[in-house]
Amino acid sequence: MKIIMNWRFGLPLAAFALFAAFYTLNFPTGQVANAQEKAPAQGDMVADVKALHAQGELTDIVLGKKDAPFTIIEYSSLTCPHCAKFHENVLPTLKSKYIETGKVRYILREFPLDNLAVAGFMLARCKSDKYYEIVEDLYANQDKWAFVKNPIEKLKARVKKVGYTDESFLSCLRDQTLLDKIVKVRDKASKQFKVQSTPTIFVNGRLLKGASNIAQIEELMAKK
């Protein structure tokens, strides 16, 4: 992979060498994977539920009981405003009503749409014991780091709150193996499960694109 910076985020030229841990993804920023294919319909069952639920390149970090009757998988990008709204408006209710009561097993999987989202997910993965703490902070404060000048410095400032130093920050972003695994997770979702946008959610294998309220999830749960 060639080293590249996403100039849409306004990173100064002087910072290029310092943050050369960013790499190209397989499609340009903001492009929807499989855009040329017919989009699956809401509520459709994925072709292979067992494969969807199986462990992939990265270990799933699960919230909820292992034997919960429902498994909800969210494919998400940290720089996606619709994903941030889902985490602000829908996930808290999902947690209190279903995850914490043992009815739902929830998994977030990485589907980054640009290099900055890759960086955020890498930093969350490098501190897996704080994975959801980091992810939720980045979603809740998306406007303070993702769409500003010098976003890498803003991102670094946010994760320093959970123990990152300048050295560990750069060390994480230079982890080529981790980067490759995140890209494989995204590519598998795109090719095998036809994920085309974020957030894309699967409720026991049934497709839900862009959930804006808990009722949409509950409707699919009722189809069990």
pLDDT at 224: 64
Q: If pLDDT is split at 50, 70 and 90, which confidence band does 40 have? A: confident
d(CA 83, CA 77): 7
Computed from CA positions of residues 211, 214, 216, 222, in that sequence, does the dihedral angle turn out positive or negative? positive
**Stretch 174-197: mean pLDDT, rounded?**
94
pTM of the predicted protein model? 0.85
Asked whether residue 9 carries a pLDDT value surpassing 80, the answer given is: no
Amino acid at site 149: K
Q: If pLDDT is split at 50, 70 and 90, which confidence band does 32 have? A: very low
**Stretch 203-219: mean pLDDT, rounded?**
94
- Closest Cα to residue 131, out of 146, 144, 120, 116? 120
SS (H, E, C) 127-184: CHHHHHHHHHHHHHCHHHHCCCCCHHHHHHHHHHHHCCCHHHHHHHHCCHHHHHHHHH
pLDDT at 157: 97
The encoded tokens of residue 157 equal: 């400032």
Q: What CATH number belongs to 7-28+41-221?
A: 3.40.30.10
Please give the backbone phi and psi of residue 25, each rounded to the nearest 5 degrees, phi first. -95, 180
The encoded tokens of residue 57 equal: 């390149």
Q: Give residue-wise pLDDT tens across range 10-26.
A: 333 333 333 444 443 33
pLDDT at 137: 98
Q: Give residue-wise pLDDT tens across range 71-111.
A: 999 999 999 999 999 999 999 999 999 999 999 999 999 99
d(CA 46, CA 201): 11
d(CA 114, CA 93): 29
pLDDT at 112: 96
d(CA 116, CA 137): 15
Q: What percent of the chain has pLDDT over 70?
A: 82
Domain boundaries, the chain: 7-28+41-221
- Closest Cα to residue 116, out of 192, 4, 34? 4
d(CA 103, CA 111): 25
pLDDT at 20: 47
Beta strands 104-110 and 70-76 are: parallel
Q: What angle do CA 142, 8, 188 make, to 5 degrees?
A: 70
d(CA 193, CA 37): 12
Q: Give residue-wise pLDDT tens across range 129-148.
A: 999 999 999 999 999 999 99
pLDDT at 36: 53
Q: Which residue has the higher pLDDT, 198 or 2?
A: 198
Q: If pLDDT is split at 50, 70 and 90, which confidence band does 31 have? A: very low
Asked whether residue 151 carries a pLDDT value surpassing 70, the answer given is: yes
